[in-house]
Amino acid sequence: MDNTSRRKFLKTTMAVSAGTLLLPSAFAGCASKRSPFEISLAEWSLHKTLFANEMTNLDFPRFAAENGIKGLEYVNQFFKDKAKDMEYLAELKKICENEGVKSVLIMCDGEGMVGHPEKAEREKTVENHKKWIDAAKYLGCHSIRVNAGSQGSFEEQQKLAADGLRMLCEYGDQQSINIIVENHGGWSSHGEWLAGVMKMVDHKRVGTLPDFGNFIINRETGEEFDRYKGVELLMPYAKGVSAKSNDFDADGNDTRSDYFRLMKIVKDSGYKGWVGIEYEGRELSEKEGILATKRLLERVFESLE
């Protein structure tokens, strides 16, 4: 072998060897598991700041992006008169694009009782929500969250709420927007009640938004449905998850909810998607509470991989 051939041979051998040395780390990267969950932020986590006019709904996307959160869960109270304002919605959408964040859903309150005993009132409630379904569609959300309030007995309220939700789903179908219900007080915080409503509606657009902490059925008596059983009952219908947090212990765990146990229930259900931070504590500032919840979720996600 002459010198030129020998140099080519050595060069090729060294390149192959170097490539071989790199293979384990490359394969390790390919083999690493990607979490099936992404973190979003419920705007209610900032309600004190927003009500104090220290932030507006248009500032919300930037706040989320600056704190490493990619999904937005709006609350309609903070842009109540803007659902049909296309100039405003276009500005909000543009801000989201610039910040690299995703609009996930709109939480809708104050638009009537979905399960009102009178048919005309249920229909009026449906009409009131249509503008939010349209806004959600424009912003690129997958759902609006509604309240399943009603009156009457356990069974009567189930039937009434199911009727109102079905009507909403029929319109949601036109816009490819889901209608999801959170456990949010009253019978809706009873896991079996809400799961039963889902079965009655029986529509592909209907779903739940299980909240880790909203299982108080009666605030006056303190009656509460078991949150772990409640999340387990609601997860088969879930199109989102709300990670309610309050205060934290020295290890960074929520003092009211076992996130590891709850997220294990979420994972075992087969759910994949957004898990929304909803901080409501008093010990930390809103920003600090949001970041503490984010750190906790990231630890939990890592433990589930």
Please say whether the beta carbons of 213 and 227 come within 8 A: yes
What is the mean pLDDT of the segment spanning 77-97?
98
Q: What contacts 98, CB < 8 A, 6 or more positions away?
A: none
CATH number corresponding to 37-304: 3.20.20.150
CA atoms within 13 A on the CB side of 48: 11
Q: pLDDT: is 204 or 4 the higher one?
A: 204
Q: How far is CA 245 from the centre of its chain?
A: 14
Question: 241 in helix, strand or coil?
Answer: strand
Residue 4 has pLDDT above 50, yes or no: no
SS3 65: helix
Please enumerate in sequence order all residues whose Cβ is within 8 A of that of 19, keeping only pairs 6 or more positions apart, or say none.
none
Calpha distance 106→110 (Å, rounded): 13
In this structure, what token pair is assigned to residue 270?
A: 């087969």
The helix-helix angle for 154-175 and 119-139 (nearest 10°) equals: 40
pLDDT tens digits, residue range 26-69?
333 344 468 899 999 999 999 999 999 999 999 999 999 999 99
- What are all long-range contacts of 87-94, with beta carbons under 8 Å and residues at least 24 apart? 89/135, 89/138, 89/139, 91/58, 92/57, 92/58, 92/61, 92/139, 93/138, 93/139, 93/140
User: How many whole angstroms from its chain centre is CA 264?
Assistant: 17
The pair of structure tokens assigned to 193 is 């009640």
Q: How many CA within 13 A on the CB side of residue 67? A: 23
**Per-residue tokens: 201:** 């509606």
Closest CA to 245 of 191, 273, 283, 188: 283
Locate 138 and state its tokens.
Answer: 């424009």
The SS3 assignment for 145 reads strand
Which of 27-31, 114-118, 301-305 is modeled with the greatest confidence?
114-118
Domain residue spans in the chain?
37-304
Write out pLDDT tens, residues 253-278: 999 999 999 999 999 999 999 999 99
Q: How many CB atoms lie within 10 A of CB 56?
A: 11
Cα(149)–Cα(87) distance, integer angstroms: 32
Q: How far apart are the first and last CA of the chain?
A: 53
Position 1 scores a pLDDT of 52
What pLDDT does residue 33 have?
Answer: 65
CB 228 within 8 A of CB 261: yes
Say if residues 141 and 75 touch (Cβ distance below 8 Å).
no
Whether residue 13 has pLDDT greater than 90: no
pLDDT above 60 for 22: no
The answer to whether the CB of 160 falls within 8 A of the CB of 152 is yes
Average of pLDDT values for 20-29?
A: 40
Compute the average pLDDT of residues 102-108. Answer: 98
Find the helix or strand (DSSP H, E) in which 158 lies.
helix 154-175
**Per-residue pLDDT at 24:** 43
Where helices occur in 210-277 by DSSP H, the ranges are 227-234, 259-268
Provide the residue type at 49 as one letter.
T
This prediction has a pTM of 0.89
